[in-house]
Amino acid sequence: MSFMKEKATLSSSQTVAIVKSLYPRVHIQEVSEGFMETCSEEQALVLMDEAQGAATALVDNLEL
């Protein structure tokens, strides 16, 4: 596994684990499938924009 892919996997794993710890009923397999089919590209972009601050804070906590 490449260095970049390893770091991306680590950060994604941490993010999914945090979500699971906050919302125990979340099915991790469904998260791995991406956005729901009913979520438009525009809606996905809005959600990603809303998540930017939290994502930045998570990255700051990683040892990269």
Where are the chain's structural domains?
Answer: 3-61
Residue 28 has pLDDT above 70, yes or no: yes
- ∠ Cα 62 60 63 (to 5°): 25
pLDDT value for 14: 87
The arithmetic mean of pLDDT across residues 32-60, rounded, is 93
The arithmetic mean of pLDDT across residues 30-59, rounded, is 93
Return the structure tokens found at 57. 């804070």
Q: Cβ of 33: how many Cβ atoms within 10 Å? A: 9
- Report the predicted TM-score, pTM, of the whole model to 2 decimal places: 0.72
